[in-house]
Amino acid sequence: SSLIRTTNLQRTYQMGKNTVQALAGVDLEIERGTFVALVGPSGSGKSTLLNVIGGLDRPSSGEVWVDDLELGRAPDKKLVSFRRDRVGFIFQSFNLLPTNQAWENVALPLMLAGRGRSERRKRAEHLLDQVGLGDRADHRPAELSGGQQQRVAIARALANDPVLILADEPTGNLDSRTGRDVLLLMQRLVREQQVTLLMVTHDMNAASYADRIVHMRDGVIEQIEIVERTAEAVA
């Protein structure tokens, strides 16, 4: 069944006398366990769509369902718990706390969820293992490379076992080799953990790692591309 479903989703912004239609009627369905890339020119509505699906912004009209929740009509309190318990966020600039160790950064969502310190440490170590950083748990962000910092951020996004991970230009600050490793890691996590990953990118090469490429233009979906992958490429 689909995890995300939007119908005639619209988001307008009032800029003085002008109305900007960031989303002009988006109909989208995303199956569970899919890696989806959102591409399109600057200003086409990618970030707005990501923010609405992540419960960070409200639609002006239309419906947006994630799981069993219609985000447009959900009360604020519901949106807060939705973001905290069911969504993981990954950013271009990693957004790690500089004075905290890698494991503490990963454990931050667990702290907000009220977990005790020893449980947090144990789970953070397990998550760091999963992203290949089991030996860096006590490093601070400045002691890690860009690729390693983004992998810490990915581990943090997984901490509460979310149904959905939203990534805004996750490879935007990485060189192409490091970016490739991060994309392969995200691909593997989607395959192994049944998580659904929605990634905004302007990089068509990055988008090619996804299962579906959603092309946006002027606030609507122009085309959805299904990425065919040979068995060899998946191995």
161: left (phi over 0), alpha (psi -120 to 50) or beta: left
Residue reference for tokens 């690729």: 147
The tokens describing 91, both together, are 């950013």
The answer to whether the beta carbons of residues 160 and 85 sit under 8 Å apart is: yes
Nearer to ligand ADP, 1 or 14 (CB): 14
* Residue ranges that bind ligand ADP, judged by CB under 6 A: 13, 15, 20, 22, 40, 42-48, 143-148, 178
Nearer to ligand ADP, 33 or 43 (CB): 43
Nearer to ligand ADP, 110 or 213 (CB): 213
Q: How far is the CB of 179 from ligand ADP (least distance, A)?
A: 9
Nearer to ligand ADP, 60 or 193 (CB): 60
192: left (phi over 0), alpha (psi -120 to 50) or beta: alpha
Strands (E), the chain: 2-15, 18-31, 35-39, 61-66, 69-70, 87-90, 164-168, 196-200, 212-217, 220-226
Q: How far is the CB of 151 from ligand ADP (least distance, A)?
A: 8
Q: How far is the CB of 150 from ligand ADP (least distance, A)?
A: 8
Q: How far is the CB of 196 from ligand ADP (least distance, A)?
A: 20
